[in-house]
Amino acid sequence: MDTDVVVVGAGPVGLLLAGDLCAGGARVTVVERLTTPTTESRASTLHARTMDVLAERDVLGRLGKLPSGGPGHFGGLPLDLTLADPEHRFAGQWKCPQTLLERVLQERAVELGARVRRGVELVALTEQADHVVAETASERGRERITAAYLVGCDGEDSSVRVLAGFDFPGEDATLEMLRADVVGLDIPNRRFERHPKGLATAFRWPDGSTRVMVHVFGATPRPRTPDYPEIVAAWAEVTGEDISGGTPTWLNAFGNTRRQAASYRRGRVLLAGDAAHRQMPVGGQALNLGLQDAAALGGELLAALGGHDRLARYDTTRHAVGARTLTNIQAQALLLLGGPEVEPLRDTFAELMRYDAVRGHLARMISGLDGPPATAEDQGTTRMGKLDGKTALVTGSSRGIGRATAQRLAEEGALVAVHYAANEEAANETVALIEKDGGRAFAVRAELGVPGDVHELFLGLEQGLKERTGDTTLDIVVNNAGEQTAAGLAPEDVTPEQLDRLFAVNAKAPFFIVQRALSLLPDGGRIINISSGLTKFANPEQVAYSMTKGAVEQITLHFARHLAPRGITVNTVAPGITDNGSPVFDIPEAVEAMSQLSAFKRVGKARDVADVVAFLASDDARWVTGSFVDASGGTLLG
């Protein structure tokens, strides 16, 4: 390889990532189309989580003392961002020109060993099994660079995103705001001041120039950068002031675009920052979101270079964070750029924002303090789980092994869909137990074994995921739901109806759940099917039930082979006698008799099985697929 990682784009996101990778011992080449760093001011606001990221990397000392950014806002409505966490060392927001941030991050990256090549444009890329080839063009002609991975940090018009074929769904802008940095102006500062014909903002930079932003209600995007007379005319229409005497140093326009890459990873090519998501730059969230993408990606890329591919976790975690951020930005865009028709909505928001809980919630969301920790320092006070950012479905999780499994996956950081068939109270109790321990979960109902069962399950599942993560990615499927034959039922007494019901719930439903989940599972996903030790241990009274669990083991075997090219593992866990809360486990004599069947001379606990499932759901089990895992406490040893 010419290098370990090619980073395309030498903006703040690419340079932060390059520095992190070099700090971990990787060889990094940064290619940038621009021959010199930009002189445009662009973004200038840093939020609390980003300040943590920069502090951990000793970047803040290089930046010097940063001034406070003053109060924040949500859609132009005043919002004190210190309410996100008044005790946080960087509570609030901070001002740092993008030009300064880029310079400092480049100095750091180069000192750590990054090779930054300017005036070099990516024109083609090809992915091979174990590397990627980047073809570039510059004054020296065309060159090829081979690397283990390539990351697009090249902004909203990302060449990497286009050349690698990433889907980029969403909506283009329908409204536009104009902005300019102007010297020689003497106008009052104003903050999202609404007038009958539009919105106006002005504030003085420390160097004496003034940034003006203006939106004429209903103004739609133009295909080019505005010229200064257009901004002068819009400003006059909204405020009645004449700013034609100023001299612009930067002109720009932005709209309420909302687009996000369907995935942040395609094989050995990844996206971060605006290459992965395009949004209206409200309150600096775009820059902060991108820097946090880079901070999350660095460690995962270093692990992948070391042979431990956890990049699916980056994709899942950051995609969910991005979707949530784009949603709040879209809400703010409506409040900001909407005309008189949004005044009732603005009034309602203003009323809600009188409540401390609402202000704190919005402040945490904007500050980036409402998600999983982004820095090692955060991780010292908040336990990082192996499934942070993952989503999971556990069928039959209102009680017993299913409940214990849902709790265990949530403990590791997964958002868990708690499936139930009829007992809503028990399912809600599972959710409450998870939330009490600081986890996240929601209940979803569907009776299995009846027509339309899987369709009903996934309607509720996808709606719940969409509401909480912004998309429907499902990382982990645990097929746990099942029915047993009644105790004491002799084989000759099993009816066709009973056998059909058992197969419908225990075999047919898991098969079609896996089939339906394939479109939601990312590469590297996990499927765990719960079977039974009875497939290896004769009990004539459970012959019908055991037949269905044998079918489940075949689902595992064949899907494991089928899905291996996508890195999706499929495994079977076979519990033995496990206390699921049924009345028989309250009878000491019965428990003692059952205990003698285990090599450990005790009855299994639901947590014993859940721990095995959690292992198989984690990256630790990436080399385990198609397996039958005996979780019977040695019952099958004979």
Q: Domain containing 81 — which CATH number?
A: 3.50.50.60
Q: Where are the alpha helices (DSSP H) in 6-132?
A: 12-23, 48-56, 60-63, 98-111
The pLDDT, as a whole number, for residue 597 is 83
Mean pLDDT of 382-410: 88
Q: How confident is the model at residue 638 (pLDDT cuts 50, 70, 90)?
A: low
Half-sphere CA count of 47, side-chain side, radius 13 A: 28
The span from the CA of 619 to the CA of 621, in Å, is 5
Mean pLDDT of 601-630: 95
Q: How confident is the model at residue 371 (pLDDT cuts 50, 70, 90)?
A: low
Angle in degrees, 0-180, between the axes of helices 311-337 and 343-352, rounded to the nearest 10: 120
Distances in Å between the alpha carbon of 277 and those of 323, 365, 512?
A: 9, 17, 33
The span from the CA of 27 to the CA of 38, in Å, is 25
Do 298 and 437 lie in one domain? The reply is no
Mean pLDDT of 393-422: 95
pLDDT greater than 70 at residue 377:
no
Q: Is residue 21 part of a domain?
A: no
Do 402 and 370 lie in one domain? The reply is no
Instruction: Write the DSSP string, 271-297.
Output: E-GGGTEEE---TTHHHHHHHHHHHHH
- The pairing of strands 190-195 and 198-204 is antiparallel
The pLDDT, as a whole number, for residue 376 is 37
Long-range contacts of 353-357 (CB under 8 A, 24+ apart): 353/74, 353/77, 353/79, 356/83
Do 520 and 498 lie in one domain? The reply is yes
For residue 201, the tally of other CB atoms under 10 A from its CB is 18
Mean pLDDT of 155-179: 95
Model confidence pLDDT, tens digit, residues 180-200: 999 999 999 998 999 999 999
Distances in Å between the alpha carbon of 369 and those of 52, 89, 328, 359, 364?
A: 10, 12, 14, 13, 5
The span from the CA of 178 to the CA of 399, in Å, is 56
Decide: 418 and 398 in contact? Cβ < 8 Å: yes
Out of 34-43, 219-228, 530-539, pick the least confident. Answer: 34-43
| Residue ending a domain, choose from 354, 384, 414 | 384
Q: What is the CATH number of the domain that holds 495?
A: 3.40.50.720
Out of 94-98, 123-127, 526-530, pick the least confident. Answer: 94-98
The pLDDT, as a whole number, for residue 383 is 43
Do 250 and 282 lie in one domain? The reply is no
Instruction: Write the DSSP string, 527-575.
Output: EEEE--GGGSS--GGGHHHHHHHHHHHHHHHHHHHHHGGGT-EEEEEEE
pLDDT greater than 70 at residue 272:
yes
Model confidence pLDDT, tens digit, residues 11-42: 999 999 999 999 999 999 999 999 998 877 67
| Pairwise pLDDT comparison (59 vs 581), residue with the higher score | 59
Domain of 360 in residue numbering reads as 34-126+257-269+277-384
Q: How confident is the model at residue 374 (pLDDT cuts 50, 70, 90)?
A: very low
In degrees, rounded to 5, the angle at the alpha carbon of residue 386 between the alpha carbons of residues 394 and 364 is 90
Number of domains in the chain: 3
pLDDT greater than 50 at residue 414:
yes
The pLDDT, as a whole number, for residue 401 is 96
Out of 174-183, 269-278, 342-351, 536-545, pick the least confident. Answer: 536-545
Q: How confident is the model at residue 584 (pLDDT cuts 50, 70, 90)?
A: confident
The span from the CA of 564 to the CA of 525, in Å, is 10
Helix (H) or strand (E) holding 501: helix 496-503
Spell out the residues 6+ positions from residue 97 whose beta carbon is closer than 8 angstroms to its own.
Answer: 41, 44
Q: How confident is the model at residue 378 (pLDDT cuts 50, 70, 90)?
A: very low
Q: Is residue 25 part of a domain?
A: no
Mean pLDDT of 470-478: 92
Angle in degrees, 0-180, between the axes of helices 48-56 and 285-305, rounded to the nearest 10: 40
Do 226 and 251 lie in one domain? The reply is yes
How confident is the prediction for the chain on average, in pLDDT? 92
Do 526 and 616 lie in one domain? The reply is yes
Do 527 and 491 lie in one domain? The reply is yes
Do 538 and 463 lie in one domain? The reply is yes
In degrees, rounded to 5, the angle at the alpha carbon of residue 324 between the alpha carbons of residues 429 and 341 is 110
pLDDT greater than 70 at residue 590:
yes
Do 484 and 602 lie in one domain? The reply is yes
The pLDDT, as a whole number, for residue 389 is 84
In degrees and rounded to multiples of 5, residue 604 shows phi and psi of -70, 150
Q: Is residue 151 part of a domain?
A: no
Do 399 and 472 lie in one domain? The reply is yes
Q: Is residue 131 part of a domain?
A: no
Q: Is residue 364 part of a domain?
A: yes
| Residue ending a domain, choose from 344, 360, 384 | 384
In a 3-state reduction of DSSP, which class is residue 314? helix
Decide: 105 and 7 in contact? Cβ < 8 Å: no
Model confidence pLDDT, tens digit, residues 313-354: 788 888 888 998 999 999 999 999 999 999 999 999 999 999
Strand partners, 536: none
Question: Which residue type occupies 98?
Answer: Q
The span from the CA of 359 to the CA of 91, in Å, is 14
Q: Is residue 160 part of a domain?
A: no
Residue with tokens 């820095």: 375
Angle in degrees, 0-180, between the axes of helices 311-337 and 356-367, rounded to the nearest 10: 120
Structure tokens at 112: 């750590």
The pLDDT, as a whole number, for residue 304 is 92
| Residue ending a domain, choose from 340, 364, 384 | 384
For residue 502, the tally of other CB atoms under 10 A from its CB is 24
Q: What is the CATH number of the domain that holds 203?
A: 3.30.70.2450
Do 360 and 244 lie in one domain? The reply is no
Q: What is the 3-state secondary structure (H, E, C) of 129-140?
A: CCCEEEEEEECC
Q: Is residue 4 part of a domain?
A: no
The pLDDT, as a whole number, for residue 598 is 86
The span from the CA of 25 to the CA of 5, in Å, is 11
Q: Is residue 145 part of a domain?
A: no
Do 229 and 314 lie in one domain? The reply is no
Mean pLDDT of 87-97: 92
The pLDDT, as a whole number, for residue 384 is 52
Distances in Å between the alpha carbon of 254 and those of 82, 257, 286?
A: 28, 8, 12
Model confidence pLDDT, tens digit, residues 490-527: 889 899 999 999 999 999 999 999 999 999 999 999 99
